[in-house]
Each structure stands twice: as structure tokens, then as C-alpha cells.
Amino acid sequence: MLKTKIAVLVSGGGTNLQALLDAQKSGILKSGKIELVISNKEGAYALERAKKCNVKTLVLPSKELGKSFESELVKALDENQIELIILAGFMKILSADFTSRYDKRILNVHPSLIPSFCGEGFYGLKVHEAALSYGVKVTGATVHYVNEIPDGGEIILQKAVKILKTDTPETLQRRVMEQAEWKILPKATEIASKKIAKEKK
């Protein structure tokens, strides 16, 4: 079976990208191959992680590119024949035009159990701050397809993480990554890759 060609979009340190690269190495991700890592910020450490694994990298600085960012992104994805896009700590909202072009071909990992603490304005530590201030006993992570509504696409996988009385937003963020995000993102990527690979037959 031909492997699904994957691009990972990043903005920062790339811990979720690392989880995907490790999953590819260990065979958890076997129906897809990470062909390209694109950062919308210069100097994102995620690019170093990709280079260490001999994965092609590209920087498309969204601030400088402004309105032409998405057309440049589409060009790069087309040139590399990308079939599946993973948003792994990608801190930019994509337009409805872009997401509809790649229907059921974009995955995102969000650090809460959707529909809690999601949508516009909920990203990074803000999600964990909201969970703690609300007093929920359980949080977690969700991998979903991306559509025109922030965090509004169909859910693929979720994993719960218990909140401890001693938690701060920072400790909770770390545990949600370790116990949920890094586990379900590779699994969901495999599910989506397998689906696309089967369609190609």
C-alpha cells in the first residue's frame, strides 16, 4: 500500500511533531509518511527536530506574507503532493477557503475534551487556566478534523487526564501532553492515513 504523504504545520517547540516522528520510527504510524514540516515562524525549534530526522522543512513567515500566506502554503503542499495535514502546535487560524479545500484532510490536536474549553481564544495555557478556574475534575486532549469553525470539526480520538489538587496551568499542560496529546495524535494520524491510503488503491 502506498503511504499517505503528510505535512506537519508547526509554530513552536514541536513536541507533538516529535511524538509523530517517534511514532513513525516505532511503527505506530505506518500508513503515512511525514514528508514536510512547515513553520509559520522563523527559528521554531520544531524545524530542528525535523532536520534531525531528515525531513524536509520550509518556513513561511505568516506575518511577513500576510494575505499571501495561504496561497504560498497551498503551493508548497501541492508541490510536495501532500495528502494529509497535521496541525501540531500551529498558532494560526486557517480560513474557510483553505479548510474546505482540504476537507477531512486536516487534523488538529486540542488540549481539552471538546466541547469543553475550545473555540476562538482557547489555546496553549489559556485552555488549562480555564479548566482549573472552572474546577473540572477531568480534562484531556482531542484530535479532530479541521473545518471552518475553530475546534469544530468531527472528533477522531479523545483521552481523559485527571486533574490533581496541586495542579498549576503549567503542570497540567505538561501532563495533558504526556498522557494524552502525544498518545492520541499519532494514533489519529494513523487512522486518517490508513483511510486515505485505502482510497488510493
Extract the C-alpha cell encoding 188: 489519529
- CA nearest to 142, candidates 193, 72, 87: 87
What CA–CA distance (Å, rounded) separates 8 from 12? 12
Q: At what angle do helices 15-26 and 45-52 cross, to 10 degrees?
A: 10
> Looking at the domain that runs over 4-110+142-155+181-200, which CATH code has it been given?
3.40.50.170
What CA–CA distance (Å, rounded) separates 185 from 188? 5
Tell me the pTM. 0.95
pLDDT band at 120 (very low <50, low <70, confident <90, very high): confident
Q: Where do the structural domains in the chain lie, given as residue ranges?
A: 4-110+142-155+181-200
What CA–CA distance (Å, rounded) separates 28 from 39? 24
pLDDT band at 131 (very low <50, low <70, confident <90, very high): very high
- In the set 3, 49, 110, 144, the catalytic residue is 110
The predicted-structure confidence for 154-187, as pLDDT tens digits, reads as follows 999 999 999 999 999 999 999 999 999 999 999 9
Cis, peptide link before residue 111, omega less than 30° from 0: no
Q: Would you call 110 a catalytic residue per the annotation? A: yes
Q: How many CB atoms lie within 10 A of CB 163?
A: 19
pLDDT number for residue 176: 98
161 burial via Cβ count (<10 Å: 0-12, 13-18, 19+): buried
pLDDT, mean of residues 69-74: 97
What CA–CA distance (Å, rounded) separates 152 from 124? 17
